[in-house]
Amino acid sequence: MLLAVDAGNSETVVGLFELGDERRLLDTWRLSTQADRTSDEVALLVQEFLAFHGFSFDTDIAGVVVASNVPKITAAFREMTERYFGFPAVVLEAGVKTGMPILYDNPREVGADRIANAVGALELAAPPLVVVDFSGTATILDAISPKGEYLGGVIVPGIEVGLDALVGKAALLRDVELVEPRSVIGRSSVESIQSGVVHGTGSMVDGVVERIRGEIGPAAVVATGRLAELMAPFTTSIQHVEPWLTLQGLRTIFEKNQT
């Protein structure tokens, strides 16, 4: 089986895939990102995750692939893989085969998760494409050209970051659960904030997608991220929702680097 790791600034998502013809995502695991975890601590967490699902840490893992925006987490998973599994991890970095030309001015600046998302999106729909990643930290819209090239994108402060800032700066506002509002017009401060966050973000995404389409053509839109299923119904542009798109892209990248 394949262990796919997507380590972001706030959360780390681990996915377990079957290898071979099936290529199914068997399960996922989400934990907070803590950069000070050692490789041994990471190994213990992975061992517990696998054991909870009835798999063996010692015999069932045949590959590890990592996308990480946190250098210390990258190092911990790299060291864990070498020490406990006896083979190198495929780390999404310069020199790794992705099958996708990167047309960013400096390709090294592109987050590994953004590349994995783009690779995964090409398995769902034909280009041109826009990939919308709804994480709590940032909402990112990435563009893929009609030729399947990664062009770049738009980074907006994330839904939860904006919500935390609003509540933190306004003395009379209290913490708000991020859920679907009853209507656009809120009948209380809480509902008004919920409506502003959800409808405001949805409208922003639709507006930016239209501007990207003006540059690359009539692109299909794929959404991913922890908040994608909440947000997709409040947009008119999103056509595909794949919460585990990053992991799917990592699986594809792992396969491209086995030959």
Residue reference for tokens 């987050």:
111
Angle (CA) 97 31 132, round 5°: 55
Nearest one of 173, 160, 179, 174 to 229, comparing CA atoms: 179
113 catalytically annotated: yes
User: Please, what sign has the CA dihedral across residues 54, 57, 60, 61?
Assistant: positive
Q: Which of 113, 133, 142, 164 is catalytic?
A: 113
Per residue, the 3-state secondary structure of 32-93, as one string, reads ECCCCCCHHHHHHHHHHHHHHCCCCCCCCCCEEEEEECCHHHHHHHHHHHHHHHCCCCEECC
Task: Count the Cβ atoms, other than its own, within 10 Å of residue 9.
Answer: 17
Residue 226: helix, strand or coil by DSSP? coil
Which residues are known catalytic residues? 113
